[in-house]
Chains A and B, each alone.
Chain A
Amino acid sequence: MTLGPIVCATRGGEASRSTQEHAVALAEERGAALIFLYVADYEFAASLEPRLLETVRDELANLGLALLSIAQRRAARKGIKAQVAVLCGPVRETIHHYLVQTHASMLVLGASGPPTRHRVFTPEEVLHFAESVAKGAGAEVHVVTPEGKVLKAGAGTESPAKPTG
């Protein structure tokens, strides 16, 4: 039976580099395909006129593609041929649907800094989301902090990220 791909969701935040490196290391270790995913969530611009809203979405997608291309090149230097996907929509729902659609075996995502009013993902929310993804999409979830700590959904354990060189 072929192992489903590892999906690494990234948005260029402070934990993104360690998250991507962890995903690359896992792909290498498990021999699984790797997909870097960027979700352009333009909810913050919802009150804008339609044309500007559309442009914000396009520019976010452009930014996402640039970020993922950089991640893809870095993965290639480690010998991993990763794919990239840029999707638009609300972050959590879009990631969830994508995992189901691609039959992903694992989701790797980052958790940034302390909990704040505006953050897309506070560490607690990430873990909560990870739990629901683990149940709903049947995928294993690793949450990586900017310091490289890895929190595993459901397992309640934490371990340092594998050194990736």
Chain B
Amino acid sequence: MSSLISAEVIIVVLMLVATVVAIVIRRVRLPYTVSLVLVGLLIAAWRPITVEVTPELILAIFVPPLVFEAAFHLDIRLLRGGLASIVFLAVPGVIVTAILVGGVVALGAGLSVGPAVVFGALISATDPVAVVSLFRALGVPERLGVAVEGESLFNDGTAIVVFQIALSAAVSGEFRFADSLFRFLEVAIGGLAIGLALGWLVAQLMARIDDRLIETTLTALLAYGTYLAAERLHVSGVLAVVAAGMYSGNMGLRGASPTTRIMLFSLWEFLAFLSNSLIFLLIGLNVHISELAANATPIAVAVGAVLLSRAIVVYGLSWLADVASRGTRIPFQWRHILFWGGLRGAISLALALSLPLTLAARGTLQAMTFGVLLFTLLAQGTTVQFLVKALGITGGSEHQRDFERRVGQSFALQAGMRRLAQLREEGLLSQDMWSGLQANFRAQKDQVMREISRLFRVHAELERDTLLQVRREVLLAERAALDDALRRGVISEPIYDELRRNMDYRLEAVRLIQEHEHGLEES
């Protein structure tokens, strides 16, 4: 019982740290996950708490919600366009990375080929969290985000399978190509099949039940249950969760009410945020700077090998994918982002921690993993935004950004005017000061409003977009008023449910219209 309480205390402390970081980061231009790693490093140096991280903790507890949430949100229609690239990067890409990195590390760091390829496999899984959140902030085209997220989802699964095969060969000293290929296909296809089957089953149940709590619980059962079932059957748990998440997110939601959708998306967004926060804090907490310093040369070789293999995979295999996809191409500029945005994270950490004690050079492999993780997160994670901007692939046109800027100025001026009026009421301003300052504010406000009117006139679609945004704001305010009315006992629960459901339908309809209009603009 006491160990349970200790674990709870640690989780509460980590959640507190993550929350503080999340609040502070709103004012600092640094990706959230990168900040968590840095804070974890600081805590590790100070050592007020010690957290033992096991691979099971990461793989069985944190990874399923992360993978499920990403798969659940992934729009299969958008994925279809870039499927060839994603498959090329996630399957042959992982194998090529494992071999290339293994080869370079064996030559450059003086490791045996077996452990070197094990390292190549465990480091081949990309982690898109830092990059995808950055994409959202910068408004890059959705298809690029899907390409990065889709690759990561599938390469998590394939990297684990390749890792297991490489590890088995390294430990036993035997490698049979045909057996390994068969095992790879068995584990990967088996995982996908189990995920699809359970995803289908849950989708059928969700179609017959209209209860947001039960439906949400079903998805939680699906995420963790699929992982456990697949692992029990010795097939890929991660790929099973990917398949289950994609099926339930795309097919299972068809009959779900907007209320259920909102609850599902909110819950999974929260679980993914929590898992990510804890994972990246744990990465920082588990890095020992002294061990990294002692392994500086192998780490430098590993970083070079990872970058080299990423370049070969992204530029080389993307070309093959273009040939295979007959027309749906990944623009060349996007490949630079895929290359530099290929960060490493949770899966690599979990796999490195799971290395058996008997494996030769285990400590070096773990130091190399932490070194590469730190490099990709701190060097690539903090600079990829500049690359996105330099390549000019941030979303929205110049006039949209200009409009946004003016709206921001208008908001700020409005708040300034309110504060000014408040100060006057409090007797801090003389009549002359009030008149002078108010006139100045009004002149600024008029100028901003004239500019907004000009933009509405020249780019009429901005007016329509604003009307939709306003409609959404109004509906959200109405929904909050309903919550308040229920809390105060003004309306009964059945009436609240009826009205709230109607409001959720309206919000969902506005979202669909905005998405449709955005599609028209973007295309």
Contacts and interface: CB of A to CB of B under 8 A. Distances in A.
A12 B461 contact: yes
B513 A17 contact: no
A63 B467 contact: yes
B463 A52 contact: no
B505 A44 contact: no
Q: What 3 pairs across the A-B complex have the smallest Cβ distances?
A: A12-B464, A17-B460, A55-B509
Given A12-B464, A45-B512, A59-B471, A120 B520 contact: yes
Given A51-B505, A118-B523, A120-B520, A59 B510 contact: yes
Given A44-B516, A116-B523, A59 B509 contact: yes
A67 B513 CA distance: 15
A119 interface: yes
A56 B460 contact: no
Contacts of B463: 12, 16-17, 67, 70
Contacts of B471: 59, 62-63, 66
A21 to B, nearest CB: 9
A56 B467 contact: no
A55 B520 contact: no
Contacts of A16: 460-461, 463-464
A117 interface: yes
Query: Which bucket holds chain A's interface residue count?
Result: 20 to 34
Interface string A94-138: 000000000000000000000011111000000000000000000
B254 interface: yes
Nearest to B505: A55
Contact of B254 (A49, A56, A62, A117): A49
A18 B459 CA distance: 10
Contact of A13 (B464, B467, B516, B523): B464
A16 B468 CA distance: 16
Nearest to B520: A118
A118 B457 contact: no
B286 to A, nearest CB: 47
11 contacts: A12-B467, A13-B460, A16-B460, A16-B463, A16-B464, A44-B516, A49-B255, A51-B505, A55-B505, A63-B467, A63-B468
A59 B467 contact: no
Contact of A15 (B258, B460, B467, B512): B460
B506 A117 contact: no
